[in-house]
Amino acid sequence: MTRTLNKRPNTDIDAVVRWMDAGAARSDSEPTLLPGIQPAKRRLHAAWRENAQSRIVELDVEIDCLIDQLGDAVSAAQRRRLAEAKSRLRAVDSVVQSRPGLRNAWTGVDVARALAHINAVEVTLTRLSPPNTVTAKLPDIITHAALLLKPHDARLDDLRRYAAKPDLTDDDRGHIAQDMRAIYAACADEHVRTRSFRNLLFGATLVLTLFAVGIGLLGWCAPNWFVLCASNHPTVASCPTGGSAPSGGDVFLVELIGLFSAGLMGSVAIRRMRGSSTPYAVPMASLLLKLPTGALTALAGLLLLRAGVLGPDVAVAGTAQLVAYALIFGGSQQAFTRLIDIQTQNVLDSIPTPNRDAAKPPHTVVRPDQEGQ
């Protein structure tokens, strides 16, 4: 079978059908000419695009092999389905090779479109492939379904029953394809949920960052609005910047110290986080949220300290003590963002990944006779 790459038809389905009809009209000794998809010659802009493009080329070759295997036995309905699959692959190939934009990254439309088209082609191939090919794919399908469906879900039981059958009929393959469609729909819902959570984290980070910058500018323009210096000791260095009177850099310095402390705490939090196979960078969004939160908690903590909430002796602390307290209050943001870290991991765990359990840290089992040792 020869794949002609120098001359391609339009991505319209009817054009692909005409191309296939032209190949079917040839004699058996002549090769069937079908529009092929070439691997990208340049490096794409994201890892998920590389993976998707590799899968697109693989599915395109699989369709050509299926058409060659069916030969003259292909019906008009099958030809239409295969032409639609070809059209989908060519459409999504242009998506994964396009230059990503900020809006597309925020909405996730490129990822959603790629997954939708690739999954639809997978379903089509399941409907039309020979029974032995579908049987060979069933273990992977069942593994994917087990990550999304409940243990006793009827669709999962159906897939396991089909895997035990020696011969699959056309109706069986149709039922398997329908179950796959439901599985892919559930997977798409999890991706939407993950993307929405990522956008929520980035949105909160942006708002808190603007809020911290705004307060810093306000403190720069009106230093007396924020009581960060000890008023009872006007001649002693009691301000964050080392002076005895309020200055425009006090608020910014406190926020910078809080941001530094939050960054240190974030590096510790990485130890309890696992990476993500999704293209949404949810762990990174969770860690970035800690930075402006630490800046604001450091400032809020020092304002409470100067107000005497922690006692009169602490309220008159000098510059060195203020810096230490700013570090403590900045790191205290972990008490607020710890719940976000837990939710982040829960969201990541909901994404179906075949090797997800292998990535989890091993649990140490303590026997009863070892307790207290």
What is the count of structural domains for the chain?
2
Statement to judge: residues 223 and 87 lie in one domain: no
Residue 25 falls within a domain, yes or no?
A: yes
Residue 167 falls within a domain, yes or no?
A: no
Q: What is the pLDDT of residue 140?
A: 92
Statement to judge: residues 350 and 202 lie in one domain: yes
**Three-point CA angle 84, 71, 128, nearest 5°:** 45
Statement to judge: residues 236 and 349 lie in one domain: yes
Domain enclosing residue 352, as ranges: 194-356
Statement to judge: residues 73 and 202 lie in one domain: no
Work out the percent of the chain whose per-residue pLDDT is above 70.
81
Statement to judge: residues 343 and 213 lie in one domain: yes
- Per-residue pLDDT band at 342 (split at 50, 70, 90): confident
Residue 118 falls within a domain, yes or no?
A: no
Q: What is the pLDDT of residue 362?
A: 41
Asked which of 153-162, 203-212, 238-247 is least confident by mean pLDDT, the reply is: 238-247
Q: How far is CA 200 from CA 92, 110, 196, 295, in A?
A: 27, 19, 6, 20
SS3 assignment, position 243: coil
Of 371 and 254, the structure prediction assigns the larger pLDDT to: 254
Residue 130 falls within a domain, yes or no?
A: no
- In this predicted structure, the answer to whether residue 148 has a pLDDT above a threshold of 80 is yes
Asked which of 89-98, 275-284, 315-324 is least confident by mean pLDDT, the reply is: 315-324
Residue 184 falls within a domain, yes or no?
A: no
The domain boundary residue, chosen from 59, 83, 110: 110
In the beta sheet, which residues pair with residue 34?
A: 3
- Per-residue pLDDT band at 204 (split at 50, 70, 90): very high
Q: How far is CA 240 from CA 15, 272, 303, 310, 321, in A?
A: 72, 33, 12, 18, 9
Per-residue pLDDT, averaged over 29-35, amounts to 47
Q: What is the pLDDT of residue 151?
A: 84
Q: What is the pLDDT of residue 212?
A: 95
In the beta sheet, which residues pair with residue 3?
A: 34
Residue 272 falls within a domain, yes or no?
A: yes
Work out the percent of the chain whose per-residue pLDDT is above 90.
40
Angle between helices 334-349 and 170-221 (to 10 degrees): 160
Category of 369 on φ-ψ map: left (φ > 0), alpha (ψ -120 to 50) or beta: alpha
Q: What is the pLDDT of residue 16?
A: 54
Q: How far is CA 88 from CA 8, 51, 115, 118, 183, in A?
A: 15, 17, 11, 8, 19
Q: How far apart are CA 11 and CA 208, in angstroms?
A: 46
The domain boundary residue, chosen from 110, 142, 165: 110
Give the per-residue SS3 of 24-71: HCCCCCCCCCEECCCCCCCCCCCHHHHHHHHHHHHHHHHHHHHHHHHH
- In this predicted structure, the answer to whether residue 368 has a pLDDT above a threshold of 80 is no
**For all residues of the chain together, what is the average pLDDT?**
81
- Per-residue pLDDT band at 13 (split at 50, 70, 90): low
Residue 100 in contact with residue 45, Cβ under 8 Å? yes
Residue-by-residue DSSP string for 263-325:
HHHHHHHGGG----SSTT-HHHHHHHHHHHHHHHHHHHHHHHHHTTTT-HHHHT--HHHHHHH
Per-residue pLDDT, averaged over 155-175, amounts to 90
Which residues are CB-contacts of 198 (< 8 A; sequence separation ≥ 6)?
280, 281, 282, 285
- In this predicted structure, the answer to whether residue 78 has a pLDDT above a threshold of 70 is yes
Q: What is the pLDDT of residue 119?
A: 94
Residue 135 falls within a domain, yes or no?
A: no
- In this predicted structure, the answer to whether residue 312 has a pLDDT above a threshold of 70 is no
The domain boundary residue, chosen from 66, 85, 110: 110
Q: What is the pLDDT of residue 236?
A: 62
- 51-64 pLDDT tens trace: 999 999 999 999 99
Asked which of 162-166, 212-216, 233-237, 276-280 is least confident by mean pLDDT, the reply is: 233-237
For 90, half-sphere exposure in the C-beta direction (CA atoms, 13 angstrom radius) is 20
The CA dihedral of 322, 326, 332, 337, to the nearest 10 degrees, is: 160
Residue 309 falls within a domain, yes or no?
A: yes
- In this predicted structure, the answer to whether residue 214 has a pLDDT above a threshold of 90 is yes
- 116-143 pLDDT tens trace: 999 999 999 999 999 999 999 999 999 9
Q: What is the pLDDT of residue 33?
A: 43
- In this predicted structure, the answer to whether residue 304 has a pLDDT above a threshold of 80 is yes
- In this predicted structure, the answer to whether residue 319 has a pLDDT above a threshold of 70 is yes
pTM beyond 0.95: the answer is no
